[in-house]
A and B are shown apart, each in its own frame.
Chain A
Amino acid sequence: QQNVQQSPESLIVPEGARTSLNCTFSDSASQYFWWYRQHSGKAPKALMSIFSNGEKEEGRFTIHLNKASLHFSLHIRDSQPSDSALYLCAVMPNYNVLYFGSGTKLTVEP
């Protein structure tokens, strides 16, 4: 079973800031890496995923993956109040099972 840890537990940033969220995992054989976002009282929804070492950018969001360090991260450029949510990282050792971290609660203040 995967051990997936997220840091920090919570984060408050001003609007327009660059935000970084971190995730570590325990199984170096993991294949796929995801970030999910969950607004308060809503369902989690997939934000981005990455499958190989390196970086992937989609709009204001960038994922970095370093399998050797057992670490991946999510960076948000020009953070907006609408980005305020619980961010869950998840590791997928195979195509069917996701192991989630406990989440980082992000608050972006106007």
Chain B
Amino acid sequence: DMKVTQMPRYLIKRMGENVLLECGQDMSHETMYWYRQDPGLGLQLIYISYDVDSNSEGDIPKGYRVSRKKREHFSLILDSAKTNQTSVYFCASSLQGEQYFGPGTRLTVL
């Protein structure tokens, strides 16, 4: 069964702190994604990674950066988190057009 994992599942940070969200997949998918989901806004693409060290900005990259040093692992970093980055973050990987999502990380920035 195809599986995408995310850690941590819940995180509370103070404004200005750094945040690291981690994502893993065991399917050797080349393409991976980071989204955020806010009520009424659907899923907004933050970054897309086509493979190791091959990353592109999505629609809302400001305030975020990513790292992909191994195909199975994709990280989202928030340097100096802001309160408007409070959201649910989803990681996904894709195969033949279908995207497989992780369980999400609920991030609260106080």
Tell me how far the C-beta of B45 lies from the nearest C-beta in chain A, rounded to whole angstroms.
7
Interface majority SS (helix, strand, loop, mixed), chain A: loop
A43-B104, A44-B90 known; A100 and B43 CB under 8 Å? yes
Taking residues whose C-beta sits less than 8 angstroms from the other chain, chain B's interface range is 20 to 34
Q: Which chain B residue shows the least CB distance to A98?
A: B99
A96-B31, A96-B94, A102-B40 known; A1 and B101 CB under 8 Å? no
How distant is the Cα of A42 from the Cα of B43 in the complex, in angstroms?
13
A96 touches B59 (CB 8 A): no
Interface set, chain A 28-86, CB cutoff 8 A to B: 32, 34, 42-46, 49
B40 touches A96 (CB 8 A): no
B42 touches A88 (CB 8 A): yes
Question: A interface vs B, CB < 8 Å?
Answer: 1, 4, 9, 32, 34, 42-46, 49, 88, 92, 95-103
Question: B interface vs A, CB < 8 Å?
Answer: 4, 31, 40-45, 48, 50, 59, 90, 94, 96-104
Q: List 10 A-B contacts (CB under 8 A).
A: A9-B40, A43-B103, A44-B43, A44-B101, A46-B99, A96-B50, A96-B94, A97-B48, A98-B45, A102-B40
